[in-house]
Structure 1
Amino acid sequence: MRIKGVSRSVAALGMAVLLAACSSGGGNGADGGDTAAQEAETGPVTLQFWCWGSGKKEKVEAFNKAHPDIQVRHTDVGGGTDTATKLLTASRAGNAPDAACLEYQSLPAMIVAGALADISAYTGGIKDAFTPEVWSLTSFDGAVYGVPQDVGPMVMVYNKKRFDELKIEPPKTWKEFADVAAEVRKKDPEAYLATFAPGEFGNFAGLAQQAGSSWWKLDGDTWTVGIADGPSTEVAAFWQDLIDRDLVKAQPLLTPEWNNQLNKGKILSWPSALWAPGVLYSVAEKQAGDWAIAPLPQWKEGDDRVAFQGGSAIAVSKNSKHAKAAAEFAAWMNTDKTAYDIQISAGEYPAAIAGQQATADSDPPALVAGQKDYWEVATKAAQRTIPHITWGPNVKTAESAFGDAVSAAIRDKTPLVDALKKTQQVVVDDMKSTGFKVAGQ
């Protein structure tokens, strides 16, 4: 997801606001006045690092072994949403970790809030390790706010063993998806093809983008918000129909109940992203080798473009007293062969060019161990991602509003389309109150 126009969104707040934000956290950033003193310290440096996901512990252990002068303590404080929220809170208190994983769509708000350090002085040597498109995910107006870690092109992850038992095939279009969902319910009344999870903002956004939606657009200094635009409401109506016909299960993901259903073979697929096999393996290890990935179903037959769902970078906190060491850590974690080999084995699709090329000679993740063409399907999905997706400056507000509105719609059996309209209104009102110019308002 290329975050187009972020620098202009920051400018829209006004230079005075931006400068005030960048000075928060006690002036301990990479570009603060005491940077020289911070980096002049001698002796081993200990860094605090927040990140979720498979393989992070092993990568940190490998880094520590190779860098006796920089030791990293890894903490998993929750997924992308939890980490971003906790990082912002810690940054305001002046005690954020030195480095943290952040999803790409979270970066604009973190930059505006002054939570991240500009590490461009320390990353010039690794820029060419990434394609310009990927590097642009973390760099704005010449400033670099993180090192790209992974990208998450959307695919359909499915339980091949159960598909074979029920004699069904992965659907090629969303229309076929609905037909297969009905077939699953007929052949196994206790099973569902998939879940509609009300809190999955990123997943729904990706499906809407695949259908042609753009939730934020920026023209000059004027924003257009399209969370309830035509393609998005069509996607909502599609899932509404499946929910109304009891063809998908409307419930949160990765709860004890959901995990139990998954392990019993009663949830057969997850239209998600390339990181999903690693997540599923962590809760259904006994199903290793039973699963596979297929191209995401298409809204329009023949149009195989997909959106990114998730993907993350390692950013350096403005509070860090060791920005140079933290930037070195972030670079190694995302460009070193040892690091991306671990990353690949955990099921992530690396952001670095060399890491992507290495997947061709790598075994598939454990969950999909029986799929010989796993990385071929993954690479094709990555090559067909939709470019130039714009994320707005208040994605966290949108994510919270979406989760609240859609959860209420599921609970109260009200239309998902209305939930999108409520989400859009919350986002627009928030942008206007913050000082952004929004079209049609």
Structure 2
Amino acid sequence: MISRRGLLAATGLTLLAGCSSTMDPNGPLLFWSSLRGTNTVVDAWNSANPREPVVLETVTSGFAGGNAKLSNAARAGNAPDVVSMADADLPMFALDGVAADVTDLVSARSRAELGEVAWSGATFGGKVYGVPLDLPPLLMLYREDLLRDHGVEVPTTWDEFRDAARVLKARGIHLTAFHPNGYNLLAAHVMQAGGRWFDVDRDSWVVNFTDQGSLRAAEYWQGLLDEDLLFLAPGSSQEWLAALAGGRVAAHLVSVWGVAALASSVPGGAGKWRIAPVPQWDPARPSIGRDGASLHVITAESTKKDRAMRFVEWMSTSPEAITARLSSGRSSLFPASPKLWGPASTQFKTTFYGGQDLYGLAARQYELQHGDWTWGPRMQSTATSIHHGLARIPYGTTIARALRDAEAETLPDMRSLGLAVRRS
């Protein structure tokens, strides 16, 4: 998996971090983000709104990057006004009091425009703590030439996917990879299979990492591993990227944001790659998972919440904002707002993928997503537990075992926070 938030925004703006404070109601907004294209978005806002300037600080991503930096800044009393984050991280920052409750600040227009599924990822405990930016369905990026040359049709079901993997493996090619550090991609497969790791029942958290959907996904991918049909390597590793570039791995499962990321990671593949819907369990009842939805959070510490909300809603609903973000060609963000799909499709060039209509395809998959998924209150800890388990796969551990062990570690971790929690 190419780590979405490990890919930094282009540094086209001189950073002025430290020149203003979130405690100064008259100062510029301080904005932290690691998302690609954010610098051009901020430039566009500042050009159109010189009286409400925004200062961007590009941060690294992930648990040890932007998350840790935000937690430390909040404790020190110098958090930014606005920060980009993954929806999986929202419950943690809401519980810690870092993210502001913005329920009463969100406009009725944004509520209607961004849709119920998108808002489900920005809501915690019945309150809104963020504004959705994108809602990216999982897709399958694949080498058209490799499949064609070996007589393999693009799989539309997971059974066909297994059959295709067997044909290619007999010719020395892995159809795709399995990433031991990719809990979010595993979660996308669980979503599609109907699993739910976390839920809330009245005042209690409910945890189950081995429900029917979770085990279905785990056992399917374990079966592919047992047959040596998957290239086992960490996401973003040089080993995996070299295998992609060298034609030893023929497909990559990733959400829409990864379309641009792959093109920049394996530039020698231009014109060879294509985009397809992810395979289905049952085509008569299609569903889809997602890997990495983003949102923007206004911090509780900010004294400029009204201004911050105007800026945040503009980023999520304005054609000018999506056009600015995609103008460099480094971002393929898929907006949560359907009205922005048109501007996005005209801005993002798909020459690398033979000129396919990425946004038209993604729009059809978007409708298959559902909001029946809740992230846990400490996904940083939970993800680390999952990764530790998956890292032992070469030594005999299974995916199902990794999930069971992660659940066993997550339950006491949540209880240590004073949360009521039970296993379903």
Shorter-chain TM band: 0.7 to 0.9
Give 2:210's aligned residue.
Answer: 228
In the alignment, the residues of structure 1 paired with residue 110 and residue 223 of structure 2 have an alpha-carbon distance, to the nearest angstrom, of: 48
Deviation at 1:213, TM superposition (A): 0.9
Structure 1 CA distance for aligned equivalents of residues 133 and 351 of structure 2: 21
Secondary structure in 1 matching 2:205: strand
Question: Which amino acid is the alignment partner of residue 55 of structure 1?
Answer: G
Normalising by the residue count of structure 1, what TM-score does the alignment of the two structures yield? 0.82
Residue 69 (structure 2) aligns with:
86
Trace 1:22-421 onto structure 2 (pairs within 5 A): 38-39=24-25, 41=26, 45-69=27-51, 70-79=53-62, 82-120=65-103, 122-124=105-107, 126-139=110-123, 143-187=127-171, 189=172, 191-343=173-325, 346-359=331-344, 364-371=349-356, 373-407=357-391, 409-421=392-404
Displacement of 1:255 after TM fit? 1.6
| Cα distance, 1:114 vs structure 2 | 0.7
1:334 and 1:249, CA in 2 relative to 1: closer, same or farther beyond 3 A?
same
Q: State the partner residue of 2:4.
A: none
* Structure 2: distance between partners of 1:279 and 1:363: 13
Question: Could you list the runs of 5+ residues in structure 1 that have no partner in the other structure?
Answer: 1-27
Contact 1:98 1:317 in 2 (8 A): yes
Change in CA separation of 1:354 and 1:440 when aligned onto 2, cut-off 3 Å: closer
Partners of 2:154 and 2:64 lie apart in 1 by 30
Residue-by-residue CA offset, 1:102-128 (whole Å, 9 max, x unaligned)? 111211111000111234555426434
Corresponding residue pairs, total: 399
Quote the Cα distance in structure 1 between the aligned partners of 2:31 and 2:423: 43
- The CA deviation at 1:100 is 1.4
Deviation at 1:249, TM superposition (A): 0.9
**Matched position secondary structure for 2:136:** strand
Residue 343 of structure 1, CA deviation: 4.1
* Secondary structure in 2 matching 1:401: helix
Asked if structure 2 preserves the Cα contact closer than 8 Å seen for 1:215 and 1:390, the reply is yes
Sort the Cα spacing of 1:282 and 1:81 in 2 relative to 1 into closer, same or farther, 3 A: farther
8 Å Cα contact 2:133-2:296 kept in structure 1: yes
The alignment partner of 1:434 has SS state of coil
Question: In 2, distance between residues paired with 1:106 and 1:236?
Answer: 23
TM-score by length of 2: 0.85
Q: 8 Å contact 2:334–2:359 — kept in the other structure?
A: no
Q: CA deviation at 1:238?
A: 1.9
| Structure 1 partner of 2:18 | none
| Structure 2 letter corresponding to 1:320 | S
- Give the conservation status (yes or no) of the 8 Å contact 2:191–2:289: yes
Which residue does 2:419 correspond to in 1?
Answer: 436
Equivalent pair of 2:411/2:422 in contact (CA under 8 Å): no
Which of 159-168 and 308-317 deviates more?
A: 159-168
Shift of the 280–165 alpha-carbon distance from structure 1 to 2, 3 Å rule, reads: same
Structure 2 letter corresponding to 1:60: V
Residue identity matched to 1:420: L
**Partners of 1:174 and 1:75 in 2: how far apart?**
39
- Deviations along 1:351-377, one digit per CA (max 9) or x if unpaired, are 123213545656554542521x43222
RMSD of aligned C-alpha atoms? 2.6
Change (3 A) 1:72 1:365: farther
Write out per-residue CA displacement over residues 144-201 of structure 1, whole angstroms, 9 at most, x where no aligned residue: 42221111111212122332333322211112111111211222x1x32111001111
State whether residues 31 and 54 of structure 2, in contact with CA within 8 Å, keep that contact through their aligned partners in structure 1.
Answer: no
CA contact under 8 A between 1:261 and 1:267: conserved in structure 2? Answer: yes
Cα distance in structure 2, aligned partners of 1:244 and 1:297: 20
CA distance 1:186–1:96, shift in 2 (3 Å):
same
C-alpha separation in 2, matches of 1:140 and 1:433: 20
* Structure 2 residue ranges without an equivalent (≥5): 1-20
CA contact (8 A) 1:53 1:79 kept: no
Deviations 1:202-249 (A, max 9, x none): 111110121121111222223321112233223222222222222111
Q: Residue 102 of structure 1 contacts residue 315 of structure 1 at CA under 8 Å; is this kept in 2?
A: yes
Q: Deviations over 1:267-310 (max 9, x none)?
A: 21112211111221221233233322211111234332012221
Match of 1:23 in 2: none
Shift in Å, 1:382: 0.2
Change over 3 Å in CA distance of 1:209–1:133 after alignment to 2: closer
